[in-house]
Chain A
Amino acid sequence: MLSYVTGESPNTAGACSPAWAVQWQSTQKGLESRLNGVLIDRYADGEKAAYPTLCKGRYCVDGETYYAIEEPTSLNTLELLPDLLRLGVAGIKLEGRQRSPAYVTEVTRVWRAAIDTCFDEPGRFAVREDWMRRLGTLAEGQQHTLGAYNRHWR
């Protein structure tokens, strides 16, 4: 899908929404984000703008404008941490690409604290409210999801 727009995809170039293709433009209709010329979204004053990732844009289908592919929510598996450790997961990958230094600083801080807490007392691990709040302010659309972990394998 990305190579359809930019000529580069995760499969061919290891790239999702490559930075060279990103454009921001203030217009009378609002701030527009584009990917190689394709309008991914348009933001009214006061709306939080996101990096123009193709699958998280707002598009029109049958006359309705909405997040047609995915909601701009962030995966947050913090509450699964004890389960992940119990299963033998040895490393956690946090998204950094397409993110600001402020985002990376805060998210790594929260996760470091959570991992340390979980190692110290795995049986009593509970997600702290302030961790979720700090991550929440950084999440896309200020929304969290457990994503595919919500769904039971059939």
Chain B
Amino acid sequence: MSPVKLALGPVLYAWSRRALIDFYERVAAAPVDIVYLGEVVCSRRRELRREDWLDLAEMLASAGKEVVLSTLALVETGAELRSLEKLADNARHLVEANDMAAVSVLSRRGLPFVAGPHINAYNAATLALLARLGARRWVMPLELSRASLAQILAQQKTGIETEIFILGRMPLAFSARCFTARRLGLEKDTCGDACGNDPDGLLLSTRDGKEFLVLNGIQTQSSAVCNLAAEIPDLRALGVGALRVSPQSSGCFEVLALVRNALDEALAAGEAATRINALLPGAPCNGFWHGRPGAEQVAA
């Protein structure tokens, strides 16, 4: 069995240019195998331009990382579509398609791609279709369970590689509206980069004071933080090829090191999960994996 790879998902928040460059300079030296790069949430975030992202991609590839360029999850305008086409036409790196417009652009060019977590692949037939269109890896939608994964993998014969989102605040929904701009009473089209002040998004609580969601521009995330590190032996046994950690503004490199140790069996997975819990920006959760409401934390 080939070793399970450690993947770093795209930064989902509106970090400053300096913060992004510093972050990826550290990533180059971090024990990750795959790095997803690019803006997934909002095309108005322009701290880094396409050339800057490609420079980072070169830097990370030189450091031995597999680089994947991630596309927007909600393509709404002609300009965004053209930008998607330019991303597909980069001569060197694999692209992660995060909506079907990207799948279409990539498959028409005969390019292999990663079907990202925002593509609705909920069964083996859909996976087979994506594989036919050129997907060589898929990231399972976050709300699917271990049981669904086992069933899909048992039914699919494509040889496509599976990646599982195992750590981070979970992207739950995308909207054409911007909730960060709404909070500030601004229009989405003239938001003045409203989300640039929230490196981990805006915490939303219920009226009885319980942390519930995180607003991140047009994306809604869970406030609880997915932690499936304890499941690493099981993920390996299921034949999963890569595990994704989603960046947060603090603790990310400590988390990556602990996951790496668990993957290398230098640390028991349960122990890694416990230590990771102390580094997370919110309560841990693993409900989706166990077929429960995603916010729940099911005891081992």
Find out whether the CB atom of B78 lies under 8 angstroms from the CB atom of A154. yes
Once bound together, how far apart are the Cα atoms of A4 and B202, in whole Å?
18
In the complex, B26 has a CB within 8 A of chain A: no
Tell whether, in the assembled complex, residue B220 and residue A154 are in contact, meaning their CB atoms are under 8 Å apart. Answer: no
The winner among B179, B287, B294 for most chain A CB atoms within 10 A is: B294
Taking A1-B220, A5-B293 as contacts, is the C-beta distance between A68 and B207 under 8 angstroms? no
Taking a contact as CB atoms under 8 Å apart, the answer to whether B215 and A61 are in contact is: yes
Count of residues in B whose CB is under 8 Å from the partner chain:
38
Assess whether A69 is in contact with B179, with CB atoms less than 8 Å apart.
yes
- Complex interface: stretch among A35-43, A114-122, A134-142: A35-43
B100 within 8 A of A: no
Question: Cβ of B76 < 8 Å from any Cβ of A?
Answer: yes
Task: Find out whether the CB atom of A60 lies under 8 angstroms from the CB atom of B207.
Answer: yes
Residues of A within 8 A of B208 (CB): 39
Q: Is A58 an interface residue (CB 8 A)?
A: yes
For chain A, the count of residues having a C-beta within 8 Å of the partner chain is: 29
Contact B141 A11 (CB under 8 A): yes
Indicate if A28 sits at the interface (CB-CB under 8 A).
no
Tell me which of A7, A38, A62 has the highest count of chain B C-beta atoms within 10 A of its own C-beta: A7
A4-B294, A5-B293, A59-B206 as given contacts; A68 in contact with B179, CB under 8 Å:
yes
Give Cα distance in the complex from A145 to B80, angstroms.
27
Chain A 60-94 per-residue mask, 1 if CB under 8 angstroms from chain B, else 0 = 11101100111000000000000000000000000
The 8 Å CB contact of A41, one of B175, B179, B207, is B207
Given contacts A9-B143, A38-B212, contact A60 B204 (CB under 8 A): yes
Asked whether any CB of chain B lies closer than 8 Å to the CB of A3, the reply is yes
Which residues from 166 to 203 on chain B have a C-beta closer than 8 Å to any C-beta of chain A? Answer: 170, 172-173, 175-177, 179, 182-183, 202-203
Residues of chain A whose beta carbon lies under 8 Å from any beta carbon of chain B = 1, 3-7, 9, 11-12, 36, 38-42, 57-62, 64-65, 68-70, 148, 151, 154
List B residues at the A interface (Cβ < 8 Å): 76-78, 120, 122, 141, 143-144, 170, 172-173, 175-177, 179, 182-183, 202-210, 212-213, 215, 220, 222, 287-288, 291-295
7 nearest CB pairs, A to B: A4-B294, A39-B206, A1-B172, A7-B293, A1-B173, A3-B143, A60-B205
Identify 29 residue pairs between A and B in the complex whose beta-carbon atoms are under 8 Å apart, listed by A's number: A1-B220, A4-B172, A4-B294, A4-B295, A5-B293, A5-B295, A7-B293, A11-B141, A38-B210, A38-B212, A38-B295, A39-B207, A40-B206, A41-B207, A59-B204, A59-B207, A59-B212, A60-B204, A60-B205, A60-B206, A61-B202, A61-B203, A61-B204, A61-B205, A68-B182, A68-B204, A70-B177, A154-B76, A154-B77
